[in-house]
Each structure stands twice: as C-alpha cells, then as structure tokens.
Amino acid sequence: MAQELGKSFITYFYQSYDGDRTALQGIYQDCSMLTFEGQEYLGTQAIMTKIAGIGARFAHNIQSMDIQPTSDGSIMIVCTGEIKIDDNNPMLFMETFIIRDAGGNSYYVHNDIFRLVLA
C-alpha cells in the first residue's frame, strides 16, 4: 500500500510542480514544514508563498524513488533526479517527504526537504 500511495503522490506532486503549482496548496496543511535549501517554511501559506515566488519554469526527471511506511502510519519518500530550471543545464536534486493520513482516504505533506546536489 505504501508503495502505491508513494508513487501516486510523487507523480501528482512533480506534474503539478512542473505545471500549475497552485494545485499543490491542497497537499500542505498549517502544520506542514518545507525546508528548501536550508530555509524553513511552516504552514500552507508560507510554503505556497515560497513555491509561487520561485517563478521559474521547472522540469523534474525522477531517477530514483524509495518509499517506506513509518511506525506511526505515515509514508516516507526519498526522490533523486534531475531538475531543469528555465533554459539552464539540468542539476541533480534530492527531495524527502513524510506524508500523513489526513482522513477520508487522503494524505498531506507533513515534511518536505529539498536540496540541490552540487558537486
């Protein structure tokens, strides 16, 4: 079950991020935290302000994905891949999510950590 949910989440997340980022608002809650390149953002409004403020065109190419259930029923997802920003050369990235049950057969992002992998 965790594998299927994790894969579905990742597909939705990156398709939305690369397309209409406003669609991501529904997957964050006020208790959600994003750490983006070392900067922390708490809550839906702060996270969406950061995501909207990036203002670039993105194309994610997921190269690996590891998914594990956690002891509290959440799901941990670690993704690696390439990200292309505007017309620049692709860069490597890593992103880790903890998604939790929001009730009613839906999940939300409790934790999201994004980091470029720079050599």
- The number of residues making up the chain comes to 119
pLDDT at residue 53, rounded to an integer: 87
User: Which residues neighbour 100 within 8 Å (Cβ) at sequence distance 6 or greater?
Assistant: 72, 73, 74, 75, 107, 108, 110
pLDDT at residue 26 greater than cutoff 80: yes
| One-character DSSP codes across 46-68 | HHHHHHHHH---EEEEEEEEEEE
pLDDT digits (tens, 9 = 90+) for 37-96: 999 999 999 999 999 888 789 999 999 999 999 999 999 999 999 999 888 899 999 999
Angle at 113 between CA 77 and CA 28, to 5 degrees: 80
pLDDT at residue 14, rounded to an integer: 97
Q: pLDDT band for position 8 (50/70/90)?
A: very high
Q: Which domains does the chain have, with CATH numbers?
A: 2-117 (3.10.450.50)
Q: Is 87 helix (H, G, I), strand (E, B) or coil?
A: coil
